[in-house]
Structure 1
């Protein structure tokens, strides 16, 4: 065999890796304001992220996804974008972003950006020109005339175009004096909704995607995708229809929960826009040699979310699977967790890629929702189930929500309650507090002598990365050990089997013929149990512990048989089995790409000697 042929084989393997990377990617969500502050101003930034990329690479992360970094007045933490092609000054410069991208590539990691298509900020040039009806921006946004009405005294007044309510409370319509019309904002007043019934807007947003794809990003997470369209007034005598009351207990007219959102969520036109964006991303597969991932956020019924995957003729996105966030909690049984896992795998169309999400910047942290005792279990499940795994920053060390007082609150969802007592029920700030790098001042997040943008959580001196790295057993070491196993054939391609052996015992297997199998065991109970898995006929008898949670007595590298597995209380264990379908070796035998390269070179050297 000649070197050119061997190098072609290596190149082919590398190309396949670039095209398939997303199917089993471990994606780490970074909330830039709270990850690492490099310049001491109390706010995280791009250079801080770049500084910590080696940590993420060492942990086993395949790609980072950053919440919005675009220019914005920050009415809603960067989700009110005024320029999609510029970097927010407090985060750095475009040169800083380019450096981050290059360092990521050098470490073998990819960069995924947040794409916020539903609305812009009201300080954007697009909106300013739309208010003066300047072409081509006249219809970039959803504008409508008010309605005539009379009050109880018979006085004539103008009211908003419909009863629609903003997610952040109050009317979703805001009157603009210059335009002389109301504009729609499904979120804060400073976030006017774009008009996707305009072909010009659709092309504009495709060009935003192309701008960042030209820079070499590896894809996008798409925000609030199911809000893109509203009812078409042409179908309702030129008016926007009122939404029906929900009947939600305790809800008042200003609450989002007060209405059923049948005219402002999940309209079917949305799917075609997503499929069109997928076509744009696919334009870059050939030119840049890698698949571009697209993940869409929609809190909706499962059947509606599944449609984002695409159709028989159109490719779509990966719809975020929020079942771990919304369908289970710290009291859920093994039966219920199994049901949640099986439900997604059942509804997901054949040939598509699953995904597992334990948390994000909008939800209370995983350790709060699931309980500290279940941190290892939930991390392991997300990482060993088929498909993409999403980790929100801090989940790998079991960070909990911080306390943010009313005076320190930044989140408009909380501020708009105007309630200094109950604001915390709506606030997303506690799960956005700075990352705990160590036990020093400000948790190592910032060297500022002033206040950080949000206060660090009070437990940072005990729950931090440095402390967990220095401890033999920790959430971090367990997470890293499990992440390392994601590269094995069984976790990349193996068949999935989930079994709830009891109310508290959950077993997940990934088996692939001719390879070592992987077995995850979770004990949710407060007492130790011993389990017998001889009923798993295909699973080889001999098992080796490759990851052991903080509550487990069994140590890493311990060996045992499947007929008698002792599992401590609140314990998560990951085992590697012998070869499935033959042999008793405890390890998998497969070639990684670097090893293949070495073998190619060695083989060429040998054959050259005899040619």
Structure 2
């Protein structure tokens, strides 16, 4: 008979020290959590029903308590608000509803005191048709006229003037709008009020660099760059001076007013766009050369992984540190199997350059909330994935408490994506208002968001029990799970550790992180079925496992010990487990 020797993995300090000597030094952005704030919906400080900068400043301690190190603010610039800040009329000014430049500077100072970095949302693709730039263009100002993209219309056999070609706006219908002042159409790939800027004009290129420098000089830590894939259109000089029609998409879309009706080969994912990102990175790095502090760039690109990876750099030049990874938004949902989830999560890790970091984005202001897409049962499980997979974590405000999409009637709908459907029945399928409803602070009036009699969007049903105050007052809550996750991810094993993942069956997704003598296993049951899982599938995962963290519905408790070869997982259960003893024959 052979004797079995029990060895505690925690009793290997020499191994731990040896490995730590070889750990890569990390920059601030590589290990932090980015928390997206949609300012209009975060906190209203003056009772007008609209969130504002002072509301953010007053609640920065809450952000700090979450374990968050950086916040990304959706646009706060001066805007007529047709697209709620994504139609900017003055890139150098603060929207009056949100406050003043002094309010913003006070926010920056308070954030600095709390060691929270502030990242702004840059919207370079388009401006506003109420901007000084556009107004001067309509007057024929030679500089500002060329800030935009103009084209002659086409007169048909009946003498009717029509748009220059068949290009369609992301928000439906023609991407061209006629202005009699100049007798031409201007391009707007989004709302009519958002004329595209002309990046083939060097003056526009320099203007946007000046915008970037202006806000960097204020002390921000970088930018999230919106809708970057649409920045350049094809060079019409290659087509005899006229923008060509785009071909029909090979899908089931039959309505020519819908964006998906066309294959956008001339208006999206142009090579010149990536080059512009490299130029902007050069501007950010000008500042790092002066003070040694890295300014970060995050890019929003809904494209193939091959295209997204180009934004990292080309080997000679560097681009964005974080081309956003939307796998958890576009490639998986509550209906996904464990195999499908693993496939989606592996994609970014497979395609990214080996020396670049992954990032994990499960929600944002443009997509249904995690609790609505995956189900409330999986809120903690998805947060475990975002926080504990290798790379940078990004959280949309409210995901830490499991907020759900709010109901917004047709009459209350304000999002142009919903309004432009002209469909009072099915508008909600396109509207982004449901994921933008006010943040739920308490069970009080308007969920504690505002003291006003009316909020810009209605507060979601159920806020009386689903809110920050309620979750602070109970031990088992999504909020407390989230805080423990942000604390866990500070450990070297999650900052430097290796990864192995597996779909044990169609329901159970699990991954292992290991580093310096520590081994963790994260297990997520995606479905309403009970399983017994043998986690010894993972190398060196044998013996006893200790429960480190559970989802709020789990029947297990932190500190419980489980046998690695037979772990019972109940419906929708999510666990963080640590190997504490391994048995060697």
Fold shared per TM-score above 0.5 = yes
Cα displacement string for residues 334-382 of structure 1 (whole angstroms, at most 9, x for unaligned residues): 1111111112111111100101111111111111111111111111101
User: Residue 56 of structure 2 corresponds to which residue in structure 1?
Assistant: 49
Q: Tell me if 1:423 matches 2:430.
A: no
User: Residue 380 of structure 1 corresponds to which residue in structure 2?
Assistant: 384
Query: What are the within-5 Å matches in structure 2 for residues 184-199 of structure 1?
Result: 184-199=187-202
In 2, distance between residues paired with 1:70 and 1:560? 53
Deviation at 1:532, TM superposition (A): 2.3
User: Residue 362 of structure 2 corresponds to which residue in structure 1?
Assistant: 358
Between 38-47 and 516-525, report the one with greater CA deviation: 516-525
Deviation at 1:541, TM superposition (A): 4.0
User: Residue 596 of structure 1 corresponds to which residue in structure 2?
Assistant: none
Q: Tell me if 1:183 matches 2:171.
A: no
Equivalent residue in structure 1 for 2:167, among 155, 161, 164: 164
In structure 2, stretches of 5+ residues that fail to align are 1-20
User: Residue 16 of structure 2 corresponds to which residue in structure 1?
Assistant: none
In 2, distance between residues paired with 1:342 and 1:425? 29
User: Residue 530 of structure 1 corresponds to which residue in structure 2?
Assistant: 532
Secondary structure of 1:156 counterpart: coil
User: Residue 111 of structure 1 corresponds to which residue in structure 2?
Assistant: 118
User: Residue 323 of structure 2 corresponds to which residue in structure 1?
Assistant: 319
Equivalent residues, number: 561
Kept in 1, the 8 Å contact 2:544–2:581? The answer is: no
User: Residue 374 of structure 2 corresponds to which residue in structure 1?
Assistant: 370
Deviation at 1:577, TM superposition (A): 3.4
Equivalent residue in structure 2 for 1:100, among 103, 107, 113: 107
Cα displacement string for residues 60-90 of structure 1 (whole angstroms, at most 9, x for unaligned residues): 1111001000000001011000111111011
Deviation at 1:561, TM superposition (A): 4.2
Deviation at 1:540, TM superposition (A): 6.5
User: Residue 390 of structure 1 corresponds to which residue in structure 2?
Assistant: 394
Query: What are the within-5 Å matches in structure 2 for residues 263-278 of structure 1?
Result: 263-278=266-281
Secondary structure of 1:396 counterpart: coil
TM-score of the pair, normalised by structure 1 = 0.89
User: Residue 547 of structure 2 corresponds to which residue in structure 1?
Assistant: 545
In 2, distance between residues paired with 1:40 and 1:225? 35
Kept in 2, the 8 Å contact 1:551–1:568? The answer is: no
In 2, distance between residues paired with 1:309 and 1:538? 35
User: Residue 231 of structure 2 corresponds to which residue in structure 1?
Assistant: 228
Cα displacement string for residues 500-529 of structure 1 (whole angstroms, at most 9, x for unaligned residues): 111111111111134x23221112232333
Cα displacement string for residues 5-27 of structure 1 (whole angstroms, at most 9, x for unaligned residues): xxxxxxxx9xx98x711112211
Between 219-228 and 23-32, report the one with greater CA deviation: 23-32
Secondary structure of 2:400 counterpart: helix
Query: What are the within-5 Å matches in structure 2 for residues 108-507 of structure 1?
Result: 108-150=115-157, 155-246=158-249, 248-317=251-320, 318-448=322-452, 450-507=453-510
In 2, distance between residues paired with 1:46 and 1:136? 34
Kept in 2, the 8 Å contact 1:115–1:222? The answer is: yes
Deviation at 1:148, TM superposition (A): 2.8
TM-score of the pair, normalised by structure 2 = 0.93
In 2, distance between residues paired with 1:390 and 1:68? 17
Cα displacement string for residues 252-285 of structure 1 (whole angstroms, at most 9, x for unaligned residues): 2221122111111111111100011111111111
Cα displacement string for residues 455-499 of structure 1 (whole angstroms, at most 9, x for unaligned residues): 001111121111111122111111111111010001101001111
User: Residue 592 of structure 1 corresponds to which residue in structure 2?
Assistant: none
In 1, distance between residues paired with 2:253 and 2:184? 32
Deviation at 1:414, TM superposition (A): 1.1
Q: Tell me if 1:28 matches 2:25.
A: no
In 1, distance between residues paired with 2:217 and 2:270? 31
In 2, distance between residues paired with 1:386 and 1:187? 34
Kept in 2, the 8 Å contact 1:367–1:399? The answer is: yes
Deviation at 1:576, TM superposition (A): 3.1
In 1, distance between residues paired with 2:540 and 2:282? 41
Kept in 2, the 8 Å contact 1:28–1:390? The answer is: yes
Higher relative contact order at CA 8 Å, sep ≥6: structure 1 or structure 2? 2
Q: Do the aligned partners of residues 540 and 64 (structure 1) sit closer, same or farther apart at CA in structure 2, a change above 3 Å counting?
A: farther
In 2, distance between residues paired with 1:509 and 1:213? 39
Q: Do the aligned partners of residues 253 and 526 (structure 1) sit closer, same or farther apart at CA in structure 2, a change above 3 Å counting?
A: closer
Kept in 1, the 8 Å contact 2:405–2:437? The answer is: yes
Kept in 1, the 8 Å contact 2:334–2:526? The answer is: no
Kept in 2, the 8 Å contact 1:528–1:567? The answer is: yes
Q: Do the aligned partners of residues 285 and 578 (structure 1) sit closer, same or farther apart at CA in structure 2, a change above 3 Å counting?
A: farther
Deviation at 1:288, TM superposition (A): 3.3
User: Residue 597 of structure 1 corresponds to which residue in structure 2?
Assistant: none
Secondary structure of 2:92 counterpart: strand
Kept in 1, the 8 Å contact 2:542–2:565? The answer is: no
User: Residue 7 of structure 2 corresponds to which residue in structure 1?
Assistant: none
Kept in 1, the 8 Å contact 2:305–2:347? The answer is: no
Between 279-288 and 563-572, report the one with greater CA deviation: 563-572
Give me the CA root mean square deviation: 1.9
In 1, distance between residues paired with 2:538 and 2:251? 46
Kept in 1, the 8 Å contact 2:543–2:581? The answer is: no
Kept in 2, the 8 Å contact 1:540–1:578? The answer is: no
Kept in 2, the 8 Å contact 1:481–1:546? The answer is: no
